[in-house]
Amino acid sequence: MEYNDKQTAIIDIAERLFSVSGFDGTSVRDIANEAGVNVAMISYYFGSKEKLMEAVFEHKSNKMRLKVENLIQDTEMTPIQKIYLLIDEYVEKFLDQKNFHMIMMREQLTDKRTPVSELILELKRRNLESVRMLIHDGQKKGVFKKNIDISMMMGTLIGTVSQMVLSQPFYRKVHGMEELGEQEFRSHIRKKLSIHLKKLFKALLTNEA
Amino acid sequence: MEYNDKQTAIIDIAERLFSVSGFDGTSVRDIANEAGVNVAMISYYFGSKEKLMEAVFEHKSNKMRLKVENLIQDTEMTPIQKIYLLIDEYVEKFLDQKNFHMIMMREQLTDKRTPVSELILELKRRNLESVRMLIHDGQKKGVFKKNIDISMMMGTLIGTVSQMVLSQPFYRKVHGMEELGEQEFRSHIRKKLSIHLKKLFKALLTNEA
Amino acid sequence: MEYNDKQTAIIDIAERLFSVSGFDGTSVRDIANEAGVNVAMISYYFGSKEKLMEAVFEHKSNKMRLKVENLIQDTEMTPIQKIYLLIDEYVEKFLDQKNFHMIMMREQLTDKRTPVSELILELKRRNLESVRMLIHDGQKKGVFKKNIDISMMMGTLIGTVSQMVLSQPFYRKVHGMEELGEQEFRSHIRKKLSIHLKKLFKALLTNEA
Amino acid sequence: MEYNDKQTAIIDIAERLFSVSGFDGTSVRDIANEAGVNVAMISYYFGSKEKLMEAVFEHKSNKMRLKVENLIQDTEMTPIQKIYLLIDEYVEKFLDQKNFHMIMMREQLTDKRTPVSELILELKRRNLESVRMLIHDGQKKGVFKKNIDISMMMGTLIGTVSQMVLSQPFYRKVHGMEELGEQEFRSHIRKKLSIHLKKLFKALLTNEA
DNA sequence: CATGAATGAGGATTCATTCAT
DNA sequence: GATGAATGAATCCTCATTCAT
C-alpha cells in the first residue's frame, strides 16, 4: 500500500490516539481534528475506522519486525553475543515504537478475533521462530543449555520490556524522575533494561557464573 | 463500602466485561443485561459508569494485594524460600484474578489520570515496598547480592506473568493446546511460570550456581 | 404485538410518509418530528427504521385482509353476487387504505427480499386462495365458465384499482375534478370502479350478455 | 438533447438502478461505478442526480409513446382489430420497457410535483387522446357501445399490465415458474395478457357475445 | 474536457444518564 | 427504593456536489 502525505499523517495520529485512548475511546472526529482534515476523509481514505486501524497496523508493524535473519548465519559472533544483540534490538524497538507496542498490547487484551489480532499472532510467530533458530544454533554449538523453555524466555523478554513501558509513570515516581525529559528517561530505561535482561539471559542460557 | 447482592453481581459482571472489551467497549446496557437488572440501576447504584469502574477496582483490588507482611517477620524460612513463596503468590494471584489483572493493564495503557489509575499506582507502590523489604532482609542476612535492581526485577516478575496471560491464545496455538480446558491450561502455565521465575530470581539474587 | 398510543402515532405517521416518499426518501427524523418525539424513540421503540417498516406493515396489513371466508359458506347469495361483494370489498379496502396500498406497490417494485416483501407475498397468496375458492364454487354450481384465468382476473382487479389510485392526479385533471375534496373524489372513483369492474367480471365469469 | 456514448451508458444504467432501487435508494456512486466513470461525471454531465433522472425519462419516454397515430386513419382494419393492435402494443411496450415502466409507477407513487411527474402526466394525456380517438372512431362506425368509460378502460389496460409486471415474483411462485428464464416468462405473460385483455375489451366495447 | 480529491450536510443508531412514577 | 420511559449528545458512515487541476 502506498499512502500519500495526508494519509500518513492520519495514520501517525491514529497510532498515537489509539495507543493512549484505545480504539473505542478514540473517535474518528478526534483523529480528523488533530489531522486537520474533514471527518469524512477517514472513511474516504481508509473505508472505515476499523480499516484505518488495520492500515495503522500494516504501516507500522514492519518497524517491529526483528532484523535477526542475517544474525543467524553470522559466523563471527558467538551465540551469546547474538542473543545480546537480539535483546538490544527488542528493547530498542519497543521503546522506540512505544505507541505501536501499546496498541499491540491493548489488542491482545481483547478476545475479539479481528484482522489486526491475526496480524499480531503472525508477527509474534515470526519473531518467535527467529529466536528459536538462534537458540538452537547456540545449543548445537554446545554453549547453550539443553533444556530451555523458549516460550517462557520470550515471555520474560517481551514482558519485562512491556512492563517497563507500561509502568513508566510509576517508575518515574518511585525513582524521582518525574521531571526528566522523555528522551533522557527512555535512554535511562534502555540501559537498565539491557543490562538486566542480558544478565537474566546469560543465566538462563549458559552455564557460566 | 458495603454492597448488596445485586450490586456485587453488577461488579462481578462489570469486571469481566471491562476486562475483555475495555471500558469504552462495554456499554452499561451490556452490563445491565447480563446482570439482569435495569439499565438505570448502574447510575442509581454507582452514580455513573466511571464510578462503577472505581467500585470494581476498589472491590477487587484487595484480592491482588500480596500477603507478605507476616512473611518478613518469619524466622523459619530462608530469604530465598520467601522469595519463592512471593513468586508463587504473584503467579497465583495474576492467573486467578486474570480479569482484574487485565483491567489493570488496560488502565495503565491510558495516560488519563483517573481515580482508578491513582489506585493502581498506590497498589503497585505498596507491593513494591513489601518486596523491597524482603530483598533487604535477604541482603542483610548476606544471602542476596548487594546490587539488585528491584524495579527491573519486579518488571520481570510482573511482566513475565502478564505476558503469559496476554499471549495465552498464542501460547496455546504454538504448543498445540488449543483444545485444553481453561483450568488445565492455567495449571500448566502456573507450573511453567513458577519454575521459570524461580530460576531467574535465584540467578538474580544469589551467587549460587 | 401491543402498541401504546405514541407507538401507534409513530406507525401512522410512518405509514403516511413511507407511502408518499418511500422508505429511503423518509428519514427517521422526518417521522420523529411529525410525531413530536425524539429521534432516538424510533430505535428505542422499534429497534430500527427497517423494523419500524415491518411494524407498520404488520399493524396495517390485517386491514387489507379480505373478509371473504364466511362468504364462501353463505348459501343465500349467488356466486356472482359474492363476486360483486368481493369487488366492492377490494375497491373499498384499496381506496380506504390508500397509503398502505402504496407502500405495498412500492415494496413490490424493488427486487430486495425483505421480511416485508415476504409478508406481501403471503398476503397476496392468502387473498388469491379465497378468490379461487369463490370461483370454484361458482364453477361447481355451473354459473361460472370453466376456463377462467384467475391470475389474470386478479391482475385486472388489483391492477385497475391500483391504477386509479396511482393516476388520481391525472384523472382529476382530465375530468376537471382538481378542486374536488378527497372524500368526494374517493366516493366518485369508488362508484365508477365498482360499476366498471362488475361489468368486466360478469363478462369474464358468466355466459350472460 | 444529444448524448454521447458515455452519457447514454450512464442513462441506461441509471434507468435500471432507479427502476429496482428507486431514486433515493440509488446513489450516484452506484451509477458511476457500474458505468465505469468518475462520480463527478454525473454532476458534470447532467448537472445533478435529479437532472439525470429527467434525462433518463426524457431519453426513454418516447419508447413508451404508442404508435397509433396512423392506425386511426387506416381504413382496412376494423375498429376492434385496431383495439387489439393497441392492446398488443401496450403489452409489448410495458413488458419491453419494464424498467422505465417501473420508474413511472414509482414516480406516480410520490406526491411531489417534479418535472418528471409533469412529463408523465403529459405522456399519459397523449396516450389517452390516441385511444379516445380510436374509441370514438369505432363508436361513429356503430360497432362500439355508446357509453364507454374510457378512463376506467385505460385503468384496466395499464393497471392489468402493470400488475403483472409488479407481481411477477408472485406469479412465478404460484405457477411454479420460478426457474423459467426471463425471456420465456415474458413471452408467456405476453400471450396470457393479450388474450385476457382482448376478451375484456371485446366485452367492454362491443355487443357481441 | 474531464477527474481525483475533498467536504458539509445529513443519514441511522447507540450511548449514559435523568426523571416521573 | 427501584425502574421504565425518554432524551440529547455523540457515534460512524454515506451522500451529492464542488473545485482545483
Final residue before a domain boundary, out of C16, C41, C61: C61
Which of A59-73, C111-125, D78-92 has the weakest average pLDDT? A59-73
**Average pLDDT of span B135-161:** 93
pLDDT of residue A209: 55
Residues A57 and D84: their CA atoms lie apart, in Å, by: 70
C202 grid coordinates: 360478469
Q: List own/partner pairs for D201-204 with CB under 8 A and 24 or more apart.
A: D201/D83, D201/D84, D201/D87, D201/D153, D201/D157, D202/D80, D203/C199, D203/C200, D203/C203, D203/C204, D204/C199, D204/C200, D204/C203, D204/D145, D204/D148, D204/D153
Same domain, C16 and C112: no
Q: Is the CB of C9 under 7 A from strand F?
A: no
Same domain, C47 and C101: no
- B122 touches B58 (CB < 8 A): no
B 150-209: CB under 8 A from A: 151-153, 155-156, 158-164, 166-167, 169-171, 173-175, 192-193, 195-196, 199-200, 203-204, 207, 209
**D149 or A69: which leads in pLDDT:** D149
Mean pLDDT of chain C: 91
Concatenating the DSSP letter of every residue in B101-145 gives HHHHHHHHHS----HHHHHHHHHHHHHHHHHHHHHHHHHHTTSS-
| Relative orientation angle of helices A5-25 and A39-46, to the nearest 10 degrees | 100
Across the interface, of D21, D159, D199, the residue whose CB is closest to C160 is: D159
Q: Quote the percentage of chain A above a pLDDT of 90.
A: 70
Q: Is the CB of A53 under 7 A from strand F?
A: no
Cβ < 7 Å from nucleic strand E: A 6, 37-41, 44-45; B 26-29, 39-40, 42-44, 48-50; C 26-30, 39-40, 42-44, 47-50; D 37-41, 44
**Average pLDDT of span B110-133:** 87
**A65 or D84: which leads in pLDDT:** D84
Residues of B in contact with A195 (CB under 8 A): 149
Query: Looking at chain D, which subunits does it touch, using at least 3 CB pairs closer than 8 Å as the criterion?
Result: C
Amino acid at A116: V
pLDDT of residue A62: 82
Q: Is the pTM of this model over 0.85?
A: yes
Across the interface, of D22, D162, D171, the residue whose CB is closest to C163 is: D162
Mean pLDDT of chain B: 91
Final residue before a domain boundary, out of C14, C38, C61: C61
Count Cα atoms within 13 angstroms, Cβ side, for D165: 31
Distance B47 CA to F3 C1' (A): 15
* CB within 8 Å: D152 and C159: no
Same domain, D91 and D11: no
pLDDT one-digit tens code per residue, C153-205? 999 999 999 999 999 989 999 999 999 999 999 999 999 999 999 999 999 99
Same domain, C46 and C111: no
Q: Has residue C69 got a pLDDT over 80?
A: no
CATH number at residue A120: 1.10.357
Same domain, A131 and A165: yes
Residues C123 and C125: their CA atoms lie apart, in Å, by: 5
- D37 touches D6 (CB < 8 A): yes
pLDDT of residue D209: 55
* CB within 8 Å: C200 and D166: no
pLDDT of residue B64: 81
pLDDT of residue C177: 94
**Average pLDDT of span D55-67:** 85
Mean pLDDT of chain A: 91
| Residue with the three cell numbers 360478469 | C202
* CB within 8 Å: D109 and C108: no
pLDDT one-digit tens code per residue, B11-63? 999 999 999 999 999 999 999 999 999 999 999 999 999 999 999 999 998 88
Residues B20 and A176: their CA atoms lie apart, in Å, by: 34
Same domain, B194 and B119: yes
Report CA B119 to chain centroid distance, whole Å: 13
**Count of domains for chain A:** 2
pLDDT of residue A2: 81
pLDDT of residue C209: 56
The nucleotide minimizing the C1' distance to residue B28's CA is: E16
* CB within 8 Å: D105 and C102: no
- Whether residue B1 lies within 8 A of chain A, CB to CB, comes out as no
- A64 touches A101 (CB < 8 A): yes
Report CA A125 to chain centroid distance, whole Å: 13
Residues of A in contact with B192 (CB under 8 A): 149, 151-152
Mean pLDDT of chain D: 91
- C209 touches D145 (CB < 8 A): no
Q: Has residue C40 got a pLDDT over 80?
A: yes
Q: Please state, in angstroms and as integers, the Cα–Cα distance from residue C200 to each residue in C66, D139, D155, D198, following that order.
A: 20, 19, 12, 12
Count Cα atoms within 13 angstroms, Cβ side, for D155: 26
pLDDT of residue A34: 93
Exposed / middle / buried, residue A11 (Cβ in 10 Å: 0-12, 13-18, 19+): buried
- A25 touches B26 (CB < 8 A): no
pLDDT of residue B208: 66
Per-residue pLDDT band at A208 (split at 50, 70, 90)? low
D180 grid coordinates: 423459467
Same domain, A87 and A147: yes
pLDDT one-digit tens code per residue, D107-131? 999 888 888 888 888 888 988 988 9
What is residue A62's DSSP assignment?
Answer: G
Distance D47 CA to E3 C1' (A): 15
Amino acid at B173: K
* Phi, psi for A113 (deg, rounded to 5): -95, 95
- C45 touches C7 (CB < 8 A): yes
Q: Which residues contact B138 (CB under 8 A, 6 or more apart)?
A: B79, B80, B82, B83, B144, B205
Same domain, B85 and B161: yes
CATH number at residue B45: 1.10.10.60
* CB within 8 Å: C162 and D162: yes
Helix, strand, coil percentages in chain D from 3-state DSSP, rounded to 5: 75, 0, 25
Residues D57 and C128: their CA atoms lie apart, in Å, by: 35
The nucleotide minimizing the C1' distance to residue A46's CA is: F13
Residues of B in contact with A160 (CB under 8 A): 152, 155-156, 159-160
Per-residue pLDDT band at B139 (split at 50, 70, 90)? very high
Phi and psi based region of residue B46 (left: phi greater than 0; alpha: psi -120 to 50; beta: remaining): alpha
- C28 touches C39 (CB < 8 A): yes
D105 grid coordinates: 409507477
Helix, strand, coil percentages in chain C from 3-state DSSP, rounded to 5: 80, 0, 20
Same domain, A17 and A89: no
Neighbours of A92 (CB within 10 A): 15
**Average pLDDT of span A43-68:** 90
Q: Quote the percentage of chain B above a pLDDT of 70.
A: 99
Same domain, B43 and B100: no
Q: Please state, in angstroms and as integers, the Cα–Cα distance from residue B56 to each residue in A125, B12, B102, D146, following that order.
A: 35, 8, 13, 89
B 52-111: CB under 8 A from A: 102, 105-106, 108-111
Residues D185 and A139: their CA atoms lie apart, in Å, by: 76
Distance B42 CA to F6 C1' (A): 17
What is the span of the domain harbouring residue C70?
65-205
**Average pLDDT of span A145-168:** 94
Q: Which residues contact C156 (CB under 8 A, 6 or more apart)?
A: C197, C200, D156, D159, D160, D163, D196, D200
Q: Has residue B114 got a pLDDT over 80?
A: yes
* CB within 8 Å: A25 and B21: no
Residues D15 and D30: their CA atoms lie apart, in Å, by: 12
CATH number at residue B154: 1.10.357.10
Same domain, A93 and A185: yes
- A26 touches A17 (CB < 8 A): yes
Final residue before a domain boundary, out of C61, C91, C107: C61
Same domain, D163 and D142: yes
Residues D13 and D18: their CA atoms lie apart, in Å, by: 8
Which of A38-42, C10-14, D117-121 has the weakest average pLDDT? D117-121
- B152 touches B203 (CB < 8 A): no
Nearest CA in chain B to A126: B174
